[in-house]
A and B are shown apart, each in its own frame.
Chain A
Amino acid sequence: MARNPGLLGIFPYLDDLLAALRNLKEARSNILAVFSPIHFSEIQVIMGYKPSLVRYFALIGGILGGTGLVSLAVYAHLSFRLNTGGKPVLAWIPFVVPFFEGTVLLAVIFTVVAWVLKGRLPRVRLTSAYDPRFSEDRFGVLVACKDGERDTILKILKDAGAEEVRDVAG
């Protein structure tokens, strides 16, 4: 028989979900995932998320992109065999443009890669707790159940207004 990791509560209303999350947090339950069709910052606040690390990836990408492209420009200009113009070989002011473009390009690429990986994507198979209604108009919370916790969690979810609660197999 499959291991039973938790209970999934499905809510029609956001307020009911938020109430359930608060009560589950108070009861020190282990919330595995909250499903939502929209981005709602209050969920993240209740779940106690710290600011996303994605911003550091953007910073690193920006620094690497900007310095990388200027370094390439410097290397290319020092490699010129025919300097006939009499102008400085390294023209720093025009290099601002490659610096800016390189900064934005790699910052954006790093940001996208970072959020995808931090969001534990890409995934070939959807998690068994996922319900297609979560991309439409329903909210969900998946709570881990240890022995003896099931009834308490079930009561919290039902009391908060879950329209459906079901066991999710591992």
Chain B
Amino acid sequence: MNQEILRTLSPASRHYYLVVGLLFLVVMAGAVIWYYQIVTGLGVTGLLHPTMWAPYLVQFVFWIGIAHSGTLISAILYLFRARWRTAIARSSEAMTVFAVMIAGLFPFIHLGRVWIFYWIIPYPNQRTLWPDFQSPLIFDFLAISTYLTVSVLFWFTGLIPDLAAVRDRSQGIRRKIYGFFSLGWTGTDRQWHHYGTAYLLLAGLATPLVISVHSVVSWDFALAIIPGYHSTIFAPYFVAGAIHSGLAMVLTLLIPLRRIFRFEKIITLKDLESIAKTTILTGLIIGYSYIIEFFMAWYSGNIFEKQTFLFRAIGHYGLMFWIMVVGNVVAPLLFFCKKIRTSLGWLFALAILINVGMWTERFAIIIGSMAQDFLPYNWGFYTPRWVEISIIAGSFCLFLFLFLLFAKFLPSVSIAEVKEDITPLHRGKGKRDHHGA
């Protein structure tokens, strides 16, 4: 089993380095353009009154959403003892860590004057200014930093026995590096005893955190008074959306990973099918939320709510709305058909469509609601410019770049947990006969 999983860590081909190199170049280009934006000011972007929360916050919410399913799959499914978690948990957790890191960049990029970000940190200062702990922006800061820390620690804890396995099969500097990060793990009864308790506790603590983080992100909007934002349904609606997009991203990443590393026996079609079935559930919750939003806009009798939702469906950004409906609600329904959810091509194509749908959902909510609020005098549209398009492209490349590095330098499937699932192979003669192994 070790060799089966660890062969992914063997020296990479030229194609791998070529792809990684290209991604790195785009990431660097994005960084340079961000520098240009810092030096010149936010005026170089398409940000204009009234759509002051535009693409960077769309990206922020999108990446936070992507970050959700990793810890969700890992923690919640661990608590429920769902076996299909084992093969996909590690790469999902990695996806979470990278997505939170990238999401955390966007408030800084959006800030413009990034060098004063420390104003949000609570500490005694000469300005006698303190952040307001009632503000959802502070909630956000606390939630994202907690989520990043917890996700990294959860991921790292799960990695330790596997890092020891890599250490034991490495030589020279590689052995030293993997040995350092495995903390000297030897798999003794004492270590497993405390490790097991800790992992269960981490899963138990991470589960409510997953739910809370996107709820907190949704309150950035729900606590504002703008029609389209000010809604009590936002917390569960955003959490369902986050899980939906995260599951789709897991499919998007795992299907090529499985093919490239020949993981067909470990990441089975049944595992991918289970993810597809879960997206049917999350897609239905999202569809219900869309309907309820429109129903409440009509039922409330509030003319501003009504016009906002009418504008969302048939206004300037109407196309975004219909892409979101098709991508998030209609596409997952195709997974009801067994032929589609067991076809890798369909799974991959629909996962991409859901990802596109979830991005456009954030666009429709964040930008669409700001574009037309209470007064026609205050209306205006957002048009993207090359600066934010480049930075956004850089963020997608950064995500893929980090994920490719992860897949090549760390075990992308949990070796210890896969072994636990095939325990009969470790059993003595009587048991082996019993299990037929």
Contacts and interface: CB of A to CB of B under 8 A. Distances in A.
Interface in B258-308: none
A74 to B, nearest CB: 9
A84 to B, nearest CB: 12
B192 A125 contact: no
A81 B122 CA distance: 15
Contact of B149 (A16, A79, A109, A111): A109
Contact count band on B: 35 or more
A119 B130 CA distance: 41
A55 to B, nearest CB: 6
B400 interface: no
| Most interface-central of B145, B146, B196 (chain A CB within 10 A) | B146
Contacts of A111: 198, 201-202, 205
B423 A38 contact: yes
Interface string A91-120: 100110110111011011101101110111
B194 A119 contact: yes
Contact of A112 (B153, B187, B190): B153
A105 B149 contact: yes
B197 A91 contact: no
B187 A36 contact: yes
Given A73-B133, A121-B183, A126-B184, A43 B189 contact: yes
Interface in B182-214: 183-198, 201-202, 205-206, 208-209, 212
Contacts of A122: 183-184
A100 to B, nearest CB: 6
A154 interface: no
A39 B428 contact: no
A123 B201 contact: no
B134 A100 contact: no
A161 B428 contact: yes
Interface of B: 1-2, 122, 124, 128, 130-134, 138-139, 142-143, 145-146, 149-150, 153-154, 157, 161, 164-165, 167-169, 183-198, 201-202, 205-206, 208-209, 212, 216, 416, 419-420, 423, 426-432
